[in-house]
Amino acid sequence: MSEARQTVRNAGWLAVQRGVHLLTATLFALLVPRLMGPDLFGRYSLLTSVSMWFALLSGLGAVSLMTRTVPQFAAAGDTLGVRKLVTNLLVLRTATGITTATSYFLLITLALGEPDWLPALWVAASVFSRTVANLCFSLFLGLNQAARWGLGDLMRHVLTLGGVLIGFPLAGLRGACAGFAVANVIVLAIGLSGAWRYLLWSSLDLRRSYLVPYLRTGTSFAAGNLLLALAQRSGETVVRLATGDYMQIGYYGAAYSIYLTGAHAMWQGAIAFGPLLMTLLTNGEIGQVKTWLERLLKWMFVIASLASLATLLVGADLVPLVLGAAYRPVVDCLWPLSLALFALAVSSIGRLSALTMDRSGLSATAAAVEIAMFWGLGALLAARLGAFGMALAALAGTVGYATVISWRAPGELAYSPRAALAAAGLALPFVPLALLRRSWQVNLALLAVAVVGYAGLLFWRRVVTVGEIAALRRVMQRERDVSTLPA
């Protein structure tokens, strides 16, 4: 299965990209919050987080649409169909991008009371750029080129870091937002250059009869994605409304940015397998689809376990070191968010299952439950506990999403979570090491013991096997077919 090999190789490159992304996020956390201070960083977090709502709102579910439809065109050898679809969606994206950028500007200046309209204008330009660019990079995902798709997000973060570090010393918050806008414009230019050969202007067809079937698929999944993004990107707004304290917004924004680094890695890793699962499903290989879902969930639980142990043992040392002593309250926010990674892993597999089986309503229902819990509990807890209360609400909302999407998962893709639960359970013996915490040197040594011991238990209990890793490496080297991977 050459497509399976390509999927696994792309997933490997995505993992490398996430490593670079983690380094970029670390540098951002090390430099930007300290440079701006909690108050200005809170304003910057609010401006940029709200912009993500509108970029997704105008997206018409491009990732879900491309993941489902482009593999079908590719399997049929219908290049013209792909070019026609991309051309028409690009025109629609341009129109919706202008509308949503304008709406964002009005909301941030009139409803949320941003006192300076120029930073809002710069970020509004970013909304338009991101809206169009995401379509181009989503096309690469549909073509089973997940590494090129992930590269867009990586470039955006790297360029944003550079833009903010250059812009803020020159012009304060205005300069930082201008740097954010320039980064998104550059990513847009790169995405258009890569997708240009798939554009065919003579195939422009904006008739309802042509567009509606595709838009129905895209917007159905987009509804769930939008609700999910509102939950992920509205925490700063809820804290703002509940406390009016930009410092609390800054604490929550810093903690949630760290969490999102892991959250996005999980979802990118999962959706990279979307085209492969669609191909397997089309060929009637339901068993292989279940095997891949179980394997992905297991590895996500391993990652979540390592992240939770790291937060528990060295989080209190790293946060003040990286962000500065003023951000010490961020430590309290991180532990509930690290636990949320387990629920997020279940949610990611559920979203992937719903996408594979074209169950858009399931994702939307789960997202509606999450946002109701997130906003309801967030308003209550943030008013009393500030940023920490909002982090608890984020944990509760993610658990709600995972519960609903698992409970109502398509029966055809029912998989066993046994290996994933075993992976999480094997991390528990190392939790009591937190009682031995002392200096940062001791804490770092404790983390090393936990990581090595946890890895040893995974192999000893055969939750992870040497054969599995060796087979995966051979697949990456094109020496064996992916179907030889042990379950």
Domain extent listing, the chain: 2-482
pLDDT given at position 214 = 67
The list of the chain residues with pLDDT below 70 reads 1-8, 11, 57-61, 75, 208, 213-224, 226, 360, 409-412, 467-487
Query: DSSP readout, 155-203?
Result: HHHHHHHHHHHHHHHHHHHHHHHHHHHHHHHHHHHHHHHHHGGG--GGG
HSE-CB for 74 with a 13 A CA cutoff: 20
pLDDT given at position 216 = 65
Contacts of 88-91 spanning 24+ positions with Cβ under 8 A: 88/203, 88/204, 88/205, 88/206, 88/210, 88/211, 89/60, 89/62, 89/65, 89/135, 89/214, 90/132, 90/135, 90/136, 90/195, 90/199, 91/204, 91/206
pLDDT given at position 338 = 93
DSSP state of 144: T
| Alpha carbons 263 and 342: distance in angstroms, whole number | 10
- Model confidence over 143-161: pLDDT tens digits? 878 788 888 888 998 999 9
